[in-house]
């Protein structure tokens, strides 16, 4: 029971340290390849600590850090993914809807008050076709291009997509 509590204590410390590192890093999706280096790095650091403790004749603590190497690696993988989601949520919000055989996506960029719209016929490919500005008005988002004005209401409905009275129910994309 004592060993389990010590492992949980190390896991809590790892969670705090890794969360702090990922929070300060604020990873964006383009650096997601870094997970290939970060998970083994955390694993090796714990193995080194376990080796040093083993050489210092502290075998109980050495075993703890040996087990912690796996736990810390899992925590790093999870928190890095959550860090990417947090970064994305701070940068944009998006919605999707289906029309015939196409999936349409609307992205509102939070920092620049711009939006973009794309469509996809197959998963993994998309084509952008509409860009413009957006502004908040009475709790609704007004999307405007040089020739078109649309609105996203409080219930995530897109109004004015093809015709001024068209109302399309969109699904908010959650990360």
175 residues of the chain, pLDDT tens digit each = 788 999 999 999 999 999 999 999 999 999 999 999 999 999 999 999 999 999 999 999 999 999 999 999 999 999 999 999 999 999 999 999 999 899 999 999 999 999 999 999 988 889 999 999 999 999 999 999 998 999 999 999 999 998 888 999 999 998 7
At 124 the pLDDT is: 84
Give the whole-angstrom CA distance, residue 101 versus residue 122. 9
What Cα–Cα distance (Å) separates residue 174 from each residue in 3, 31, 56? Answer: 38, 20, 49
Stated as kind and residue range, the H or E segment containing 132 is strand 127-137
How far is the CA of 167 from the CAs of 86, 100, 172, in angstroms? Answer: 30, 15, 15
Look up the pTM and report it: 0.80
Domain regions of the chain by residue span? 2-90, 100-172
């Amino acid at each position: 029971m004592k060993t389990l509590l010590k492992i949980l204590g190390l896991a809590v410390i790892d969670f705090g340290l890794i969360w702090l590192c990922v929070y300060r890093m604020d990873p964006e999706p383009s650096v997601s390849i870094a997970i290939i280096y970060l998970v083994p790095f955390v694993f090796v650091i714990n193995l080194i600590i376990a080796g040093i403790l083993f050489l210092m004749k502290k075998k109980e603590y050495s075993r703890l850090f040996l087990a912690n190497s796996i736990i810390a690696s899992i925590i790093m993988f999870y928190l890095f993914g959550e860090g990417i989601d947090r970064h994305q949520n701070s940068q944009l919000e998006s919605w999707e809807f289906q029309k015939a055989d196409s999936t349409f996506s609307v992205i509102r960029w939070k920092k620049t008050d711009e939006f973009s719209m794309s469509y996809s016929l197959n998963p993994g490919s998309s084509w952008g076709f509409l860009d413009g500005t957006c502004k908040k008005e009475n709790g609704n988002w007004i999307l405007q291009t040089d020739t078109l004005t649309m609105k996203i209401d409080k219930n995530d409905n897109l109004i004015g997509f093809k015709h001024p009275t068209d109302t399309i129910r969109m699904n908010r994309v959650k990360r």
